[in-house]
Amino acid sequence: MPRYTVHVRGEWLSVPCKDPSKTIRCLGKEALRRYIKNKPDNGGFETLENVKFYLRRCKGLGLLDLDDKLIDALEDNEFVEVVVEGDVMSPDFIPSQPEACPSVQYIEIDGECLTTKDLLNLGKGLYKIKLTPEAEQRVKQSRLLIESIVNEKKVVYGITTGFGKFARTVIPVSQLNDLQVNLVRSHSAGVGKPLSPDRTRMLLALRINVLAKGYSGISLETLQQVIEAFNACCLPYIPEKGTVGASGDLAPLSHLALGLIGEGKMWSPKSGWADAKYVLEAHGLKPVSLKPKEGLALINGTQMITSLGCEAVERANAIAKQADIIASLTLEVLKGTTRAFDSDIHRLRPHPGQVEVAFRFRSLLDSDHHPSEIAESHRFCDRVQDAYTLRCCPQVHGVVNDTIDFVTNIISTEINSATDNPMVFAERGETISGGNFHGEYPAKALDYLAIGVHELASISERRIERLCNPSLSELPAFLVTEGGLNSGFMIAHCTAAALVSENKALCHPSSVDSLSTSAATEDHVSMGGWAARKALRVIENVEHVLAIELLAACQGIEFLRPLRTTTPLEKVYDLVRSVVRPWMKDRFMAPDIEAVHRLLVWLVAVPYIEKYRREHIPESRPVSPTAFSVDSMSLSSNSMHDRHGNQN
């Protein structure tokens, strides 16, 4: 017999249907009848016959024709909403997001080898998860120790006692399961908008990875249930705010666990947002039944900070590479010199990031390797050096790259670390309380990341100013003809300035703060959750500022035509022009910014950079996007012509 899950004014109702040939209208009336039946005031309705309503799918919000037959319009176990005429959308109804989990590929999880890139791919739904045999064995051994503790009625924190201030309160064996459920419910106290499905998948995958290490005491049966929920894309509702980042990310991880035990809300591609028990049931899954220690095993750790941190370092790495390409294009438009990128200069201050950024500029701007008509047009001008925003890119962009490298190392270590308390050491036959749940490492690192990456926007905004200011650029004011009638990039530059100013406030480190919690038991905390969230906000702002610079630089090229820049930079220009046409007169600019924000111009430039590396560095090999080659400083400066004056 088909059954449908129907949302009516904030409540979810399971409505069976004996006759699938009935209409959508009949389903709506039956759902309203059940809703009214449970209300002492009939839900405010005088009679059901007078109620006007319509139905829509929870996924995608598509309207349903009331006269269509159920068998023709809906699948079994589909999720729909009844909207009563005159009602506003229920405040707790959250539309599903138009995405799915088509993945059939698996990634093996063992708690030891996960990378930031792996986690991002898991977040995107590109892989499902399975445990390695070694991980399964470790989990089994860890659980045996927990069971022996329970059977022997030993007093062990979090297993047979309360939590935090209640650590000295011993709990009877008959109530140990209730203890774990109560823990999850009481700690699910987060607020704010929910994490996106991508970020929830990352958080869930990372918690699975930590549990797979075998130091948490969770049973293999429960862990497999968690993995099944991940593989089915059943994702709990997790508010983004509420963690202080010590004793783990307790609030968000508790919301994660709450959905897994069939309480709270969940999202799946099939259902959209609905009550967790219905979402699990729709996918043929049963709620997790928590055994001793298992609630604590699910919620103790830094996985909220770390999963968001993974996204932050991956996006930061991408935008740092973009910044080098965009700044190179701006230098061309402003007819800058390449003398500042001479390898001998950077040999004398060989920070890896600085050396690599200077190399990237050379690989894109070397006139001998990539002839540039723009460069030739000012080869013998009287300028000898450029403003710092052009000349000092290797130093400013370089330290950002080194910062990202440093933070990536910390986050990569944190991904594969056991962060529970107490830790379950099966080989020693004991549990030990410690502080691995403290988020200070990723919190400090992500504060540092925000400060570092912000500088890419800070220097970019000054380059945008130079492009827009005719006294600095020798180009039309605000990069538009008929100035006055047209404003061109005037307010786009203001947007960049606003984002840079916002970042200055966001870069204040959250990890310098600490507030005592849990009746002074947890008397020093990391505030890492906010460090991670604001790092992502800073990075997003940087992405938009650089998108504006890229638009402005490409617009500047229009005023230098028919002269052409180097081959790789022409490829960048062509990519931008494939989504945004030149700015001939004023038009709606926000869509252009957003379109360029999504472009990965690095991808069209990197083949030229790596070809240049192979040709100019003996026995060099292509580097990964995150790697820096100190050997690149060995490139002879004699292979380059200066953009001003004579050969170097």
The half-sphere exposure of 404 on its side-chain side, counting CA atoms within 13 A, is: 31
Residue 580's closest CA among 571, 569, 568, 591?
Answer: 591
- 527 conformational bin, left if phi > 0, alpha if psi -120 to 50, beta if neither: left
The half-sphere exposure of 310 on its side-chain side, counting CA atoms within 13 A, is: 29
Express each pLDDT in 362-413 by its tens digit. 999 987 888 899 988 888 777 778 999 999 999 999 999 999 999 999 999 9
**Integer Cα distance of 419 and 210 in angstroms:** 7
Express each pLDDT in 74-111 by its tens digit. 887 788 888 887 765 544 445 554 444 555 799 999 99
Is the pLDDT confidence value at 646 over 70?
no
pLDDT at 636: 34
Average pLDDT over residues 174-196: 94
**Integer Cα distance of 406 and 401 in angstroms:** 9
pLDDT at 164: 76
Residue 94's closest CA among 200, 250, 186?
Answer: 200
Token pair in block for residue 216: 């948490």
Active site residues: 157
Residue 272's closest CA among 472, 487, 5?
Answer: 5
Q: DSSP label at 340?
A: G
Containing 63, the helix (H) or strand (E) segment is strand 63-64
Sign of torsion over alpha carbons 294, 219, 145, 205: negative
Express each pLDDT in 22-42 by its tens digit. 999 999 989 988 888 877 777
Q: Under a CB-based contact definition with an 8 Å cutoff, are residues 194 and 97 in contact?
A: no
**Integer Cα distance of 339 and 194 in angstroms:** 50
Place 567 in a pLDDT band, splitting at 50, 70 and 90: very high
What are the helix and strand counts (H, E) for the chain?
Answer: 23, 14
Q: Under a CB-based contact definition with an 8 Å cutoff, are residues 526 and 243 in contact?
A: no
Q: Which phi and psi (to 5°) does residue 509 adopt?
A: -65, 130
Q: Residue 466 corresponds to which amino acid?
A: R
CA 362 to chain centre: 32
Q: Which phi and psi (to 5°) does residue 370 adopt?
A: -125, 90
- What b/e readout covers 447-478, taking b as 16+ CB neighbours within 10 angstroms? bbbbbbbbbbbbbbbbbbbbbbeeeebebbbb
pLDDT at 102: 53
Residue 317's closest CA among 509, 510, 464, 120?
Answer: 120
| Geometric angle at alpha carbon 229, from 199 and 139, rounded to 5° | 100
What angle in degrees, to the nearest 10, is found between the helix axes of 602-616 and 567-577? 170
Is the pLDDT confidence value at 635 over 70?
no
For the chain, percent of residues with pLDDT exceeding 70: 92
pLDDT at 88: 56
Q: What is the CA radius of gyration of the chain?
A: 29
Place 644 in a pLDDT band, splitting at 50, 70 and 90: low
- Of 172 and 92, which is predicted with more confidence? 172
Highest averaged pLDDT of the listed ranges 45-49, 474-478, 549-553, 601-605: 549-553
Express each pLDDT in 280-321 by its tens digit. 998 999 999 999 999 999 999 999 999 999 999 999 999 999
pTM: 0.85
Torsion angle of the four alpha carbons 591, 597, 602, 604, in this order, in degrees rounded to the nearest 10: -20
Torsion angle of the four alpha carbons 184, 185, 187, 188, in this order, in degrees rounded to the nearest 10: 110
Average pLDDT over residues 475-495: 95
Q: Under a CB-based contact definition with an 8 Å cutoff, are residues 634 and 616 in contact?
A: no
Give the DSSP letter string of 468-533. Answer: H-HHHHSS-GGG-SSBTTB-TTHHHHHHHHHHHHHHHHHTS-GGG----BTTTTB-----HHHHHH
Is the pLDDT confidence value at 239 over 90?
yes
pLDDT at 101: 52
Q: Under a CB-based contact definition with an 8 Å cutoff, are residues 276 and 266 in contact?
A: yes
- Of 266 and 11, which is predicted with more confidence? 266
Q: For residue 393, how many other CB atoms are within 10 A of its CB?
A: 28
pLDDT at 11: 79
